[in-house]
């Protein structure tokens, strides 16, 4: 191989000649020659007739020896090799940062989804609490209505005015400004009913007094 070809090969640093020869990057000339002789015997095409890549490997070993034994070519090769290693480290660092960014993004997405799920759970709990409150309010109103009806019936029976039930129920009216959902609805209904019952009882008592006179 010509010197120009060797220079081009050294500058490209496509192969790790130190690893190919099995020597450290600071190996001296004697070590390089010794390891070359061992490797050349191992990879010689005559020793590997069934290996189609034996000739290529043997040629790379020769190129590695020629470049590393030439101080100028070795310097060119070392510089190119260091540049490639630095570039590789930069790529690895960039990949690491990209991986970290990806992991951070995935973590934020998971956190956002978890927050959404928590918000949905909270809203569901609030909705159930409201529904439960509404159910209890309706039950309370129904119980008050029942109690008012029972109290009304009991008063009428005690007054001996069973015949007045139809009259008092039909004539009693709750103020139109109140609604069944108004907290004072049952209170007003009971008060007005009791007032009418008392008035009816007083009227009957007065009539009874006139008759006895």
- Whether the Cβ atoms of residue 81 and residue 68 lie closer than 8 Å to each other: no
Give the pLDDT confidence score for residue 28 in this predicted structure: 92
Tokens of 131: 């529904």
Tokens of 4: 């120009």
Give the pLDDT confidence score for residue 125 in this predicted structure: 86
Q: The whole model's pTM is what? A: 0.42
* Count of CA atoms in the C-beta half-sphere (13 A) of 193: 24
Give the whole-angstrom CA distance, residue 33 versus residue 44: 16
Give the pLDDT confidence score for residue 34 in this predicted structure: 92
pLDDT in tens, the chain (213 residues): 557 788 888 788 788 889 888 999 899 999 999 999 988 888 888 888 888 888 888 888 888 899 899 999 999 999 998 888 888 888 888 877 777 777 777 777 777 778 888 888 888 888 888 888 888 888 877 787 777 777 767 766 665 544 444 444 444 444 555 455 555 666 676 777 778 877 887 877 777 666 665
Instruction: Give kind and range of the element (H or E) at residue 179.
Output: none
């Amino acid at each position: 191989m010509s010197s120009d070809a060797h220079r081009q090969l050294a500058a490209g640093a496509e192969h790790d000649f130190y690893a190919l020869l099995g020597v450290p990057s600071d190996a001296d000339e004697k070590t390089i020659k010794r390891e070359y002789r061992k490797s050349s015997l191992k990879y010689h095409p005559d020793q590997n007739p069934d290996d189609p890549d034996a000739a290529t490997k043997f040629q790379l070993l020769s190129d590695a020896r020629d470049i590393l034994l030439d101080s100028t070519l070795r310097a060119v090769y070392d510089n190119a090799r260091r540049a490639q290693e630095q570039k590789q480290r930069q790529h690895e660092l960039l990949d690491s940062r990209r991986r970290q960014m990806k992991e951070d993004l995935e973590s934020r997405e998971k956190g956002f989804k978890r927050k959404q799920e928590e918000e949905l759970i909270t809203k569901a709990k609030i909705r159930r609490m409201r529904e439960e409150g509404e159910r209890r309010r309706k039950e309370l109103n129904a119980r008050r209505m029942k109690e008012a009806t029972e109290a009304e019936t009991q008063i009428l029976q005690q007054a001996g005015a069973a015949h007045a039930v139809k009259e008092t129920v039909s004539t009693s009216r709750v103020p139109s400004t109140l609604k069944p959902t108004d907290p004072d609805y049952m209170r007003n209904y009971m008060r007005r009913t009791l007032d009418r019952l008392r008035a009816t009882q007083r009227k009957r008592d007065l009539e009874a007094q006139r008759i006895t006179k």
